[in-house]
Chains A and B, each alone.
Chain A
Amino acid sequence: MTRQIVIGLEVHLQLLTKTKLFCSCSTDYIGHTPNTNVCPVCLAVPGTLPLLNDGAVALASRMGLGLRCTIQNYSTFGRKNYFYADLAKAYQITQYELPVATKGYLDIECDERTKRVRIHHLHLEEDAGKLVHPTADGRLTGAAYSLVDYNRGGVPLTEVVSEPDISTPEEAKEYVVRLRQLARYLDVSDGEMESGSLRVDANISLSNADGSLGTRVEIKNMNSLKALERALEYEISRQNKVLDSGGRIVQETRLWDDAEGVTRSMRNKETASDYRYYPEMDLAPIVIGDEEIEGYKAGMPELPWEKRERFAKSFGLSGEEVSILTEQKELAAYYEAVAAAGAPTARAANWVRMEVLRVLNELGQDISDFLVKPEALAELVTKIENRELSSTIGKEILDLLAREEMTLDQALERTGARAGRMSGDALGELIRRIMSEQPDVVETIKSGQDKKGAKLKFLQGLVMKEARGQADPKETAGLLSKFFAESTK
């Protein structure tokens, strides 16, 4: 029996503000000495009050608009009360009843069809600090004491809560990829799962035999896209097994153990925390006027799907090409600059998505670090298009440009490709020399034994190699046949 899989995701994005959500401490907390990136407000020193960072509201609103949500004119904060050492106030300031943005959607592509995942809402909240356990494996078990580092406490997050519209682990992964892409396009978050600036919790249930909704299980601690996919796959098979054997699913929170590849029960409904939500009276409500919302709308950059459509249309590119080129907005911008500098769009697209990405990968660089100016790549690609250069030498030149500060002219010089296109007499002379250096091969061809033309190809290859790619393959082939015809007369 196949049961329908119902998945909803809660994605936390760390917002790219300079300062924390309610104080002036930096959001750049990684790698700092513990408890140096703190102030009376984020340490919850008595008497202090939170002050809302308007930049965080702007970013959350942008993300909300990107997800086609309604931005609320009026939203409020609440207190989520629980005692834990990493939470200085013993409550987290979050949005509960009235979040900043509601009811939107994100379209994802899966199995070559588009699926719409509805967004329930998006809200602002502060991050907690971190507990450090002085054990070899860094786990709480066996630790004689624990240390608290509040450097991260108060860093702004936006939580995007989807409706349970996701039906497979693959869709879940695709949803996170698209959400992350959107967040990066909007400069809302850098969305790095490894560093924790993007965190995903999943709610998953399998429908009952009669089609009604099953019991929901929450899964936490998935620190990569791979982990998300694996955890969901594991959980589907676990729940299926339980149900197949006549058991029932318990409503609970489970932690994904990446090393063991299993989920483990963390707490069930009976032991779940009652967060005693309470309105945050220390903060005035967030009021965003219609004009302000219009301002945010006007300031929205081109969104990933808009860019995809435009690239396909104006550059005549295929769906797959467009997908790769627009994956990162920086790469897309680079490609556009190459095209704008006059490069033939199809060949430029090929070069950017194949060669540029290859070189970046080899060098471990981002496109923002790339030394090759779009204009230089445009010229290079144009020369290849015009057959002034072969692809082989073009790649060699690109490798050079990417590794050293130099102009295209200098690179052409360095590779010896500077002399320009070899043809006519010069090419003929080179072919004659090579033929004279390969008498056996020439004899074989002349005697008609080169039935498949392999020997002729071999000669042609030698010519091209000697010509450093500057010979036109067609002309070379033409000259070769001409010389053989002459010599056999």
Chain B
Amino acid sequence: MELYELSAKEAALGVRTKKFSAVEVTEACLGRADKFEGSVNAVITMTREAALERAREIDRKIARGEDAGLLAGVPYFAKDNFCTRGTRTTCSSKILENWSPTYNASAINYMNNAGAVMMGKTNLDEFAMGSSTENSIIGPTKNPRDLSRVPGGSSGGSAAAVAAGYSPLALGTDTGGSVRQPACFCGVQGMKPSYGQVSRYGILAYASSLDQVSPLARTVEDLAISLEVLARPDPHDTTCDAYDRPSFTAALSLEDLKGKRIGVFEGFESSQMDADLYGALQTAAGYCRDAGASVEPMDLPIAVKYGVATYYVTALADASSKLACYDGIRYGSHLDGPTLNEMYVNTRTACFGEEVRRRIILGTCLLTEGFYQNYYGPALKVRQRMVDEFDELFERFDAYILPTSPSLPYLIGMKETDPNRLYLGDIFTVPISLGGLPGINLSMGFNADGLPLSVQLVGQRYFDAELLGIASVLERVMGKPGVAEPGVKKSTNTHKDEGAK
């Protein structure tokens, strides 16, 4: 086994027990990136020297017999919307093209304190707005499982990095599916924790009430270890809940699903989604039953009918105010103008991409007098109805499974002309975000064309540890995704690439 194929747990253990050094692991991962980055394009900024220096520091610590941390010497990438001190943080936007923060996001500090080695900053859809990682200043990231396809998004760079073996771990942010969906497309594990588990301090916001720092990895155990490191109260973020988290790794000792009640989502016409993914959902239901769970069908009528609309009203309204600070005065790109207003208009028109501008304008309209009463107000109420719907559901179930995405990864350039269809791809992920629930994308191998299959496992809010326990039982049956050998799949049998209708 190559060092770049190790899980985070294995890498840290090997480094701590001096089976190999942190520098060796880091170099192996850097080598992987060197080999494939030209074709994958997952990374905006590579911090090679800093990573090697950091790895040497970890090795010295271990040589001195000091505790180097839970993630000692484990390479990781962070999506380029995490603030990193002295390392530029672009959000894939021209408006922050040359901006270097003076501080680290809390999540970055937690990772570093645990001994992890940051390798660089990964690609995303500009300001995390998108689900294909095509809207970026460095161009699209390609899916390591099939380079002709998108990696999903917005955390597509992080998902691709983990799939291609650039690192065993990566950080993304999930607002409406931005980690779960790329994990699904790239065939890796990804988890959006409950809202309020992980500090948002230092995350360049998209929507404050939905954004959540979310890890990507190739094993459920690595997701649990990541939460062990990341999920804690932060005095810098009052929306990050201030309570002692249970051990996320201890929850992995769950042996089977006896006594667990698992719901299987059946509120969506099988014809409306990719047959292979529908099949995967049925297979997963079988696995649950085999593991001893009682499995019942369930439905989310409100979430399915209103989820996407509610999500976009909520997220875009928030984004329109959170992105207003980019005025070109204090930081970021700046274009002059004869008046203050023209300066704003020139800067924001030239430096925000089309999708970002579309969402800011929509969000602004949604909050305008008259529209607020018709859109934002009702959206808040529907969101509460959805939370109620989930609450009722969790009286009957401990967790439920549903697809992560209605479609398999599509070809690059395929869908970006039709934003409406792009939005529909979020139908299974956004209700979970609106409910603040934890959701895990669990890989389930590949279809006949070698494209990744997966299922989404969703739990009750704050029951992240229990959900990881159930995921680990299922992973034993489904198998852990391996590292991809990036190339173009020469399949004759391309699936219908239409997604949700």
Show the binding face of A for B, using Cβ within 8 Å.
Answer: 40, 43-49, 51-52, 79, 81, 83-85, 88-91, 146, 148, 274, 276-284
B324 within 8 A of A: yes
A348 to chain B, nearest CB (A): 52
Give Cα distance in the complex from A89 to B205, angstroms. Answer: 12
Q: Which of A48, A81, A83, A284 contacts B201 (CB 8 A)?
A: A48
B335 to chain A, nearest CB (A): 15
- With A47-B203, A51-B238, A284-B238 as contacts: A276 and B329 at CB distance below 8 Å: no
Say yes or no: B321 contacts A278, CB within 8 Å: yes
- With A47-B202, A276-B364, A278-B318 as contacts: A83 and B235 at CB distance below 8 Å: no
Say yes or no: A46 contacts B238, CB within 8 Å: no
Say yes or no: A90 contacts B236, CB within 8 Å: no
Give Cα distance in the complex from A49 to B318, angstroms. Answer: 14
Q: Which of A40, A276, A281 contacts B103 (CB 8 A)?
A: A40
B105 within 8 A of A: yes
Residue of B nearest to A79 (CB): B321
Give Cα distance in the complex from A439 to B202, angstroms. Answer: 97
B363 to chain A, nearest CB (A): 9
B365-379, CB < 8 A from A: 367-369, 372, 376
Give Cα distance in the complex from A366 to B96, angstroms. Answer: 52
Residue of A nearest to B207 (CB): A281
User: In the assembled complex, which residues on chain A have CB atoms less than 8 Å from the CB atom of B306?
Assistant: none
Residue of A nearest to B242 (CB): A284
User: In the assembled complex, which residues on chain A have CB atoms less than 8 Å from the CB atom of B89?
Assistant: 46
User: In the assembled complex, which residues on chain B have CB atoms less than 8 Å from the CB atom of A283?
Assistant: 238-239
Q: Which of A47, A91, A277 contacts B205 (CB 8 A)?
A: A47
A154 to chain B, nearest CB (A): 13
B200 within 8 A of A: yes
Say yes or no: A276 contacts B83, CB within 8 Å: no
User: In the assembled complex, which residues on chain B have CB atoms less than 8 Å from the CB atom of A280?
Assistant: 208
Task: Give the 4 A-B residue pairs with the shortest CB-CB distance, closest first.
Answer: A90-B324, A281-B208, A276-B367, A281-B209
Contacts A/B (CB < 8 Å), 21 sampled = A44-B325, A45-B101, A46-B101, A46-B325, A47-B101, A47-B202, A47-B204, A47-B205, A48-B202, A49-B237, A51-B238, A81-B320, A81-B324, A89-B324, A91-B321, A274-B368, A277-B367, A280-B208, A281-B208, A283-B239, A284-B239
B446 within 8 A of A: no
B308 to chain A, nearest CB (A): 20
B327 within 8 A of A: yes
Give Cα distance in the complex from A83 to B340, angstroms. Answer: 9
Residue of A nearest to B345 (CB): A83
Q: Which of A44, A49, A85, A274 contacts B236 (CB 8 A)?
A: A49
User: In the assembled complex, which residues on chain B have CB atoms less than 8 Å from the CB atom of A43?
Assistant: 330
B102 within 8 A of A: yes
- With A85-B329, A281-B209 as contacts: A51 and B364 at CB distance below 8 Å: no
B344 within 8 A of A: yes
Say yes or no: B331 contacts A46, CB within 8 Å: yes
B15 within 8 A of A: no
Q: Which of B105, B207, B367 contacts A47 (CB 8 A)?
A: B105
User: In the assembled complex, which residues on chain A have CB atoms less than 8 Å from the CB atom of B372?
Assistant: 276-277
Say yes or no: B369 contacts A274, CB within 8 Å: yes
Per-position 1/0 for B171-183, Cβ under 8 A of A: 0000000000000
User: In the assembled complex, which residues on chain B have CB atoms less than 8 Å from the CB atom of A274?
Assistant: 368-369
User: In the assembled complex, which residues on chain A have CB atoms less than 8 Å from the CB atom of B51?
Assistant: none
B317 within 8 A of A: yes
Q: Which of B83, B202, B321, B380 contacts A81 (CB 8 A)?
A: B321
User: In the assembled complex, which residues on chain B have CB atoms less than 8 Å from the CB atom of A81?
Assistant: 320-321, 324, 367
Give Cα distance in the complex from A274 to B368, angstroms. Answer: 7
Give Cα distance in the complex from A89 to B103, angstroms. Answer: 18
User: In the assembled complex, which residues on chain B have CB atoms less than 8 Å from the CB atom of A282?
Assistant: 205, 208, 238-239
Residue of A nearest to B343 (CB): A85
B5 to chain A, nearest CB (A): 33
- With A81-B321, A278-B318, A281-B318 as contacts: A45 and B331 at CB distance below 8 Å: yes
Residue of A nearest to B365 (CB): A276
